[in-house]
Structure 1
Amino acid sequence: MYNRKEFLKRSGGAALGLMLGPSLYAGCSASSRIKASGSISAVGIQLYSLRDDLPKDPKGILKQLAAFGYKEVESYEGAQGMFWGMGNKGFKRYMDELGMKIVSSHCDYTHDFERKAAEAAEIGMSYLICPYVGPQKSLDDYKRLADSFNKAGETCKKNGIRFAYHNHDYSFRLQNGQFPQDIFMQHTDKALMDYEMDIYWVVTAGQDPIAWLKKYSGRFRLCHVKDRKKGVTPKQGEPNLSVIVGTGSIDFKTILAAARKEGMQHYILEQEAYEKAPIECVKEGAAYLNKLVF
């Protein structure tokens, strides 16, 4: 079983001021992700949702996900790497067989990133994403991280893909009178990187996802669709309260409609806490998202 904090530390690159090199836009147009009716044409899933089951049988789990109606995959760096022991080309071949596409992966952008960007680009991925940096002691620390994001963005651009950052709640909580997320947005070059909004964590921080989508229109190109338990007031440091997507308190119909207008392109389910077997949770989540009209 993977430990979330250990994974995030390894994949997120919390170290400051890392000198990584280069990024370019290889994403698909937003209209290609939305049917004429306003529903999602290519529902995605973050494979971390199945972190206990996936390492035991990667191909078997991926086959089930395809059967549930997932069309896009966002991977992460587990013990077998982001391509789950198949290599980048082998993973793509299997995705092609299943009628799915790997569009992105969370990864450690502070280690061997040139190779990762080249391998991702080679199989037509659009993004490599930093999943976590952790709360920082000062606002200057966030500025230094923004500089390292720009350098990672340059590495990705050089290889023909994009870099992005995935938020948790800490960047949407005031620190010394400022939101760290504002620092990230304002100190990174939109020509080099985008952002993946984890809607659950924005709500958990007591913030309005729609307001942030409008404030930085066109910067949030991917989102994590992760629902939140009903009847619980958000508070800092709480345990993860994610529930099956579509059964919780988050108004995805309204939020995703706004996201679409502000340039959202990839809608990726993530499940972190479970009410039943993880595979059943993501099956029900896929059924909800594939029927959702906004």
Structure 2
Amino acid sequence: MKMNRRKFLESAGMLGTIAALPLSGFSMFEQPKYKMGLQLFTIHKDMTQAPLLTLKAVKEMGYADCETFGFDSEKCSFYGLKASEFKKILEDLDITASSGHYGFSSYLTKPQDELMRFVDRCIKGALDLDMKYITWPWIAPEQRTIDNFKLMANKLNVIGEQVKHAGLGFAYHHHDFEFIDHDGENGFDIILNETDSSLVKLQMDMYWVMHSSTLTPKELVDNQPGRYVMWHIKDMDKVTRDYTELGNGSIDYVEILPDPIKSGLEFYYLEQGGNFAYSPMKSAADDAAYFKKHLQRYL
């Protein structure tokens, strides 16, 4: 005899409990589970000096996924290691690298054929590591004009098509400068409105949203549901507004986290770009401990 879902819940005494849960957008039946990820920029110096020992320590902290930074396109290497060697370390430690930040900034104004050759090298590196996403992370200060944001939007579409053809996803990671007003325009709106959402996904940096945007992470997701496939999670010092360890700052993540399903979330990464209380590795460990205790239940 088949039992429908409601009768099952009633028989298990769970219906009243579920009815009492807050309407947060998260379901105990549909709640996704993601690997706890680390953006390796947090510990970049350690990674360049001793990648194997550093990743062993990262694994012990509880991280199971990572996002790379610092790809050498000429040597197809990560942290001084050939992509195949770095992949072997990841496999041995049972850590994945689902995304990588690649150095597109210097190609913003270069000829299209040079950009496409660089993208091909990035694709090779990403495929060697079984990545899911190639991410454009940054543009130089002198490039941050409205005309260049419009130029970049075009480049993002071109790259996105090339990357998609290779079977990978492509995303753009923002900072604060995209939100700066330029006589009624800003770079973030240009990126949102002038790129193809099927080719160019977005990596939301929660710190920079809370630091610089007039919108909240939830409002951004409401405006572009399904497009924020990756998140960066880090805290903001209560006084200086610089980076700080999770739990030491002003960002209430229980309050601001969007619904991951509505966001389209596939991967998230803890990150601290500087201002370490003791050392990058200690901050990475402290961030992991805080996240596991207070926030992982939501993801």
Q: Taking structure 2 as the reference length, what is the TM-score of the superposition?
A: 0.78
Cα distance change, pair 281–81 in 1 and its aligned pair in 2 (3 A): farther
Cα distance change, pair 169–60 in 1 and its aligned pair in 2 (3 A): same
Distance 1:75 1:140 in 2: 29
CA offsets per residue over residues 158-185 of structure 1, 9 Å max, x none? 2110111110101122222123111101
Distance 1:218 1:91 in 2: 32
- Residue 266 of structure 2 is matched in structure 1 by 265
Aligned residues of 1:245 and 1:288 also touching (Cα < 8 A): yes
Cα distance change, pair 35–115 in 1 and its aligned pair in 2 (3 A): farther
CA shift for structure 1 position 118: 2.4
Do residues 125 (structure 1) and 131 (structure 2) align? yes
- Residue 230 of structure 1 is matched in structure 2 by 238
- Residue 106 of structure 1 is matched in structure 2 by 101
Distance 2:153 2:126 in 1: 22
Aligned residues of 1:82 and 1:105 also touching (Cα < 8 A): no
Secondary structure of 2:257's match? helix
- Residue 211 of structure 2 is matched in structure 1 by 204
Distance 1:48 1:35 in 2: 33
- Residue 184 of structure 1 is matched in structure 2 by 191
- Residue 56 of structure 1 is matched in structure 2 by 49
Do residues 172 (structure 1) and 179 (structure 2) align? yes
CA offsets per residue over residues 195-253 of structure 1, 9 Å max, x none? 11111111111432221121111111111111101145x6xxxxxx1000222111212
Q: Which residue identity does 1:150 align to in structure 2?
A: N
Cα distance change, pair 98–265 in 1 and its aligned pair in 2 (3 A): same
Secondary structure of 1:51's match? helix
If each structure's helix is expressed as a fraction of its own residues, which one has the higher value?
A: 2
- Residue 246 of structure 1 is matched in structure 2 by 247
Paired-residue identity, %: 30
Aligned residues of 1:35 and 1:41 also touching (Cα < 8 A): no
- Residue 154 of structure 1 is matched in structure 2 by 161
CA shift for structure 1 position 132: 0.6
Do residues 195 (structure 1) and 202 (structure 2) align? yes
Please provide the CA RMSD for this pair: 2.3
Q: 2:284 aligns with which of 273, 282, 285?
A: 282
> Which structure has the larger Rg over C-alpha atoms?
2
Cα distance change, pair 144–71 in 1 and its aligned pair in 2 (3 A): same
- Residue 225 of structure 2 is matched in structure 1 by 217
Aligned residues of 1:50 and 1:278 also touching (Cα < 8 A): yes
Q: Which residue identity does 1:246 align to in structure 2?
A: G
Q: Which residue identity does 1:276 align to in structure 2?
A: Y
- Residue 96 of structure 1 is matched in structure 2 by 91
CA offsets per residue over residues 101-145 of structure 1, 9 Å max, x none? 011111123352212212312432111111111455643321111
Q: Tell me how many residue pairs correspond in the alignment.
A: 254
- Larger RCO (CA within 8 A; separation ≥ 6): 1
Q: Taking structure 1 as the reference length, what is the TM-score of the superposition?
A: 0.79
Structure 1 unpaired stretches of 5+? 1-33, 235-240
